[in-house]
């Protein structure tokens, strides 16, 4: 095309470094990341079920991994991802009704979803540890 700027002289579109990070942007990225993480967790859950069906020789090593400190951190993150994805999915369902779309409400609900994701695994741990469920 005549007169078109060469690739090195083309203007750049807005880049992440130009945009100010805000909670709704982080919430959108986190929602996608937790969706991918939950997909991986579902595959591990299927492997756990297959190991349980295969018998103790397959199940015990997998449980040893899950009960290790690294396995416990992974389980915390899976529960946190599930809680976040649930809370943010409900948030988006509310958005679909047309409610909560102004910036203040969107920021508040994004923070709620993030804090919910932190609180749910801690609450679940407290319930299982101190709740008397035997």
77-106 pLDDT tens trace: 999 999 999 999 999 999 999 999 999 999
Q: What is the pLDDT of residue 68?
A: 96
Domain membership of residue 76 (yes or no) is yes
Q: What pLDDT, on the 0 to 100 scale, is given for residue 55?
A: 95
pLDDT, residue 3, reads 65
For 86, the domain range is 23-130
- Contact between 81 and 38 (Cβ < 8 Å): yes
pLDDT along the chain (134 residues), means of 10: 64 66 94 97 96 96 95 96 98 96 96 98 92 67
pTM of the model: 0.82
Let me know if residue 106 belongs to a domain: yes
Q: How far is CA 63 from the centre of its chain?
A: 24
> How many separate domains does the chain show?
1
Find the CATH number of the domain harbouring 105: 1.20.1300.10
């Amino acid at each position: 095309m005549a007169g078109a700027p060469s690739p090195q002289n083309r203007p750049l579109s807005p880049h992440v470094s130009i945009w100010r990070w805000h909670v709704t942007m982080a919430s959108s990225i986190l929602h996608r990341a937790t969706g991918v993480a939950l997909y991986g967790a579902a595959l591990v859950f299927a492997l756990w079920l297959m190991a349980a069906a295969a018998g103790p020789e397959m199940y015990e090593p997998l449980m040893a991994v899950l009960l290790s400190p690294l396995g416990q951190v992974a389980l915390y993150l899976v529960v946190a991802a599930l809680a976040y994805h649930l809370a943010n999915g409900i948030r988006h369902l509310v958005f679909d009704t047309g409610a909560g779309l102004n910036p203040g409400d969107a920021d508040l609900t994004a923070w709620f979803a993030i804090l919910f994701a932190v609180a749910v695994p801690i609450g679940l741990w407290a319930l299982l540890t101190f709740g008397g469920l035997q």
